[in-house]
């Protein structure tokens, strides 16, 4: 059985926000004072999240990603990974993290059944990391990626949100990492969503510019198939002789809604069919009443919008990507 939306897109991929909280306050994502956090009783337990996945699996769900907020700050997140690993239809379990806790957690997550990891890393310079994340937690992106690699997580992706005047002078340094390491460095166009007082359209750096700066400094980029698993909306390139690849994710300059195969589960159990749309279906109420979820999921699919409205400045009332798992 498959879940097909009204535009013929097959839905196989669920992004699960396990918490709306975070130990960082990235300038493009969360206000410094934080957000009004969800009450604990509204947040799905690990058992409830696993039950949603168990009910979606026979409908065609094959890939899940744990995200947030910061998923690694929720206690015992490996326990959830193990529960999802036990669902036979689930082929791929990934994690999106700011990487702070990876050196201590990567082996435990891998042992629980995590396949792969995306690490957000907006700078390679310690002072800049603190200026962007607005927390000094001693984060070192290279150390986090090496910890993930030694734990056997594969592929390893580093996600860089490029901001003009803040970190755009580091794109070549990030690209250089792919010469030495088998990592996939992906440059993401800044999205003007939520409450970023100081970041505007002027800070968006089009991905074409990022690629041209890299090829000017480091030589020709060959189009590449990218990592074997989880290609999603990125386009990939490779420097001659490089072990890793360079990807670009272009929500602002080229939309990829036509091939969107994903839906999102918020930490409080709402199924959100588009990152920026305001279509949400409550799964928590039926789940807690023991009512089967399939009709609610099919309703959500029928309402999945054709494309997001971000370019026309409508973001579905979203205050921050952390509220829906990015
Ligand atoms: N805390 C985890 C992390 O940072 O990877 C997972 C949640 S975070 C919301 C998911 C992704 O969204 C991160 O890669 C982050 O850089 C990205 N993101 C958040 N706000 C963004 C924005 N305004 N524009 C572009 N990317 C954004
Ligand atoms: Fe936290 Fe990730 Fe948002 Fe940064 S991007 S504030 S790490 S949720």
Q: Which CATH number characterizes residue 79's domain?
A: 3.20.20.70
- Sign of the torsion formed by the C-alpha atoms of 99, 101, 103 and 108: negative
Assigned domain for 119 exists: yes
Q: Which helix (H) or strand (E) segment is 147 a member of?
A: helix 141-150
End-to-end CA distance of the chain: 28
270-272 and 280-282 strand pairing: antiparallel
Q: Look at residue 322 in the predicted model and tell me its pLDDT.
A: 67
State the closest ligand 1 atom to the C-alpha of 118, by its place in the atom list counted from 1. 5
User: Which residue has tokens 């994710």?
Assistant: 249
pLDDT at residue 233 in the model: 73
Q: What's the pLDDT at 317? A: 54
Atom of ligand 2 nearest to the CA of 25: 6
Q: Where are the beta strands (DSSP E) in 76-115?
A: 92-97
Asked if the structure places residue 5 within a domain, the reply is: no
Residue 251 CB less than 6 A away from ligand 1: no
Which own/partner pairs from 167-172 qualify as long-range (CB within 8 Å, at least 24 positions apart)?
A: 167/122, 167/123, 167/128, 167/132, 168/205, 168/210, 170/123, 170/124, 170/125, 170/128, 171/210, 171/213, 171/214, 172/213, 172/214, 172/217, 172/218
- Residues 214, 174: contact at Cβ < 8 Å? no
Show the domain range for 69.
13-321
Measured in Å, residue 28 CA sits from the centre of ligand 1 at 8
19 lines ligand 2 (CB under 6 A): no
* The ligand 2 atom nearest the CA atom of 29: 3
Residue 8 lies in a domain: no
Question: How many whole angstroms from 89 Cα to the centroid of ligand 1?
Answer: 28
Walking along the chain (326 residues) 10 residues at a time, the average pLDDT comes out as 67 93 95 93 98 95 96 98 98 98 98 98 98 96 98 98 97 98 96 72 93 98 80 85 95 71 91 75 97 91 64 52 62
Instruction: Measure 121 CA to ligand 1 centroid, in angstroms.
Output: 10
Q: CB of 163 closer than 6 A to ligand 1?
A: no
Residue 2 lies in a domain: no
Q: Is the CB of 25 under 6 A from ligand 2?
A: yes
Task: Say yes or no: CB of residue 322 within 6 Å of ligand 1.
Answer: yes
**Peptide bond preceding 264: is omega within 30 degrees of 0, i.e. cis?**
no
- State whether residue 236 is helix, strand or coil: strand
Q: Tell whether ligand 2 has an atom less than 6 A from the beta carbon of residue 68.
A: yes
- Does the beta carbon of 26 lie inside 6 Å of ligand 2? yes
Confirm whether 7 is domain-assigned: no
User: What's the CA-to-centroid distance between 289 and ligand 2, angstroms?
Assistant: 32
**Residue identifier of the C-alpha nearest atom 8 of ligand 1:** 326
Asked whether 98 lines ligand 2 (CB < 6 A), one says yes
Q: How many CA atoms within 13 Å lie on the side-chain side of 130?
A: 5
Element (H, E) at 160: strand 156-162
Here the tokens at position 99 are 């990487």
Q: Answer whether residue 299 is part of any domain.
A: yes
Look up residue 171 and give its two tokens. 């794109």
Q: What is the number of structural domains in the chain?
A: 1
Q: Is the pTM of this model over 0.75?
A: yes
| Whole-number pLDDT of residue 260 | 74
Backbone φ and ψ of 9, nearest 5°: -85, 130
pLDDT at res. 176: 98
pLDDT at 231: 57
Beta strands, E only, 28-139: 63-67, 92-97, 116-120
Give the separation between CA 124 and CA 111, rounded to whole angstroms.
28
Answer yes or no: is 194 within a domain. Answer: yes
State CA 73 to chain mean position distance. Answer: 16
The vertex-283 CA angle with 42 and 322, nearest 5°, equals 55
22 in contact with ligand 2, CB cutoff 6 A: yes
Three-state SS at 209: helix
How far is the C-alpha of 3 from the C-alpha of 59, rounded, in Å?
6
Burial (Cβ within 10 Å: 0-12, 13-18, ≥19) of residue 17: buried
Regarding the beta carbon of 324 and ligand 1, being less than 6 Å apart is answered no
- By most ligand atoms within 8 Å of CB, the mutation choice from 22, 28, 193, 195 for ligand 2 is 22
In testing the pocket of ligand 1, which one of 18, 77, 120 has its CB within 8 Å of the most ligand atoms?
120
Angstrom distance (rounded) from CA 163 to CA 108: 34
In 3D, which of 251, 104, 108, 115 has the Cα closest to residue 187? 251
Q: Report the separation in Å between the CA atom of 26 and the middle of ligand 2, taken as the mean of its atom positions.
A: 5
Looking from the CA of residue 159, the nearest atom of ligand 1 is 14
Quote the CA–CA distance of 215 and 188 in Å, as a whole number: 17
- 147 - beta bridge partners? none
Q: What is the Å distance from ligand 1's center to 193 Cα?
A: 11
How crowded is residue 217: how many other Cβ atoms within 10 Å of its Cβ?
12
Residue 182 has what DSSP assignment? S
Q: Is residue 223 part of a domain?
A: yes
């Amino acid at each position: 059985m498959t879940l097909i939306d009204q535009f013929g897109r097959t839905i196989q991929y669920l992004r699960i926000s396990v918490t709306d909280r975070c130990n960082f306050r990235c300038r493009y994502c969360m206000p410094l004072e934080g957000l009004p956090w969800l009450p604990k009783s509204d947040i799905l337990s690990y058992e409830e999240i696993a039950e949603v996945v168990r009910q979606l699996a026979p409908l065609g769900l094959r890939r899940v990603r744990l995200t947030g907020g910061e998923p690694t700050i929720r206690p015992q997140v490996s326990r959830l990974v193990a529960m999802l690993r036990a669902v036979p239809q689930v082929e791929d379990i990934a994690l999106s993290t700011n990487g702070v806790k990876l050196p201590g957690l990567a082996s435990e997550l891998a042992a629980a059944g995590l396949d792969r990891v995306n690490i957000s890393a907006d700078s390679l310079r310690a002072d800049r990391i603190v200026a962007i994340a607005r927390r000094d937690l001693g984060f070192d992106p290279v150390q986090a990626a090496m910890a993930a690699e030694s734990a056997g997580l594969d592929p390893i992706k580093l996600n860089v949100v490029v901001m003009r005047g803040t970190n755009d002078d580091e794109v070549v340094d990030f690209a250089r990492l792919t010469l030495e390491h088998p990592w996939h460095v992906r440059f993401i166009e800044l999205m003007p969503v939520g409450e970023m007082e100081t970041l505007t359209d002027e800070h968006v750096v089009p991905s074409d510019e990022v690629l041209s700066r890299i090829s000017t400094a480091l030589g020709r980029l060959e189009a590449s198939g990218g990592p074997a698993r989880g290609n999603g909306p990125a386009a990939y390139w490779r420097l001659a002789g490089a072990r890793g690849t360079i990807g670009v994710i272009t929500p602002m300059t080229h939309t990829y809604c036509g091939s969107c195969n994903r839906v999102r589960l918020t930490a409080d159990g709402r199924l959100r069919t588009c990152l920026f749309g305001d279509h949400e279906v409550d799964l928590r109420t039926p789940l807690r009443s023991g009512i089967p979820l399939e009709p609610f999921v099919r309703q959500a699919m029928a309402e999945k919008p054709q494309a997001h409205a971000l370019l026309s400045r409508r973001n579905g009332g979203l205050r921050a990507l952390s509220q829906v798992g990015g």
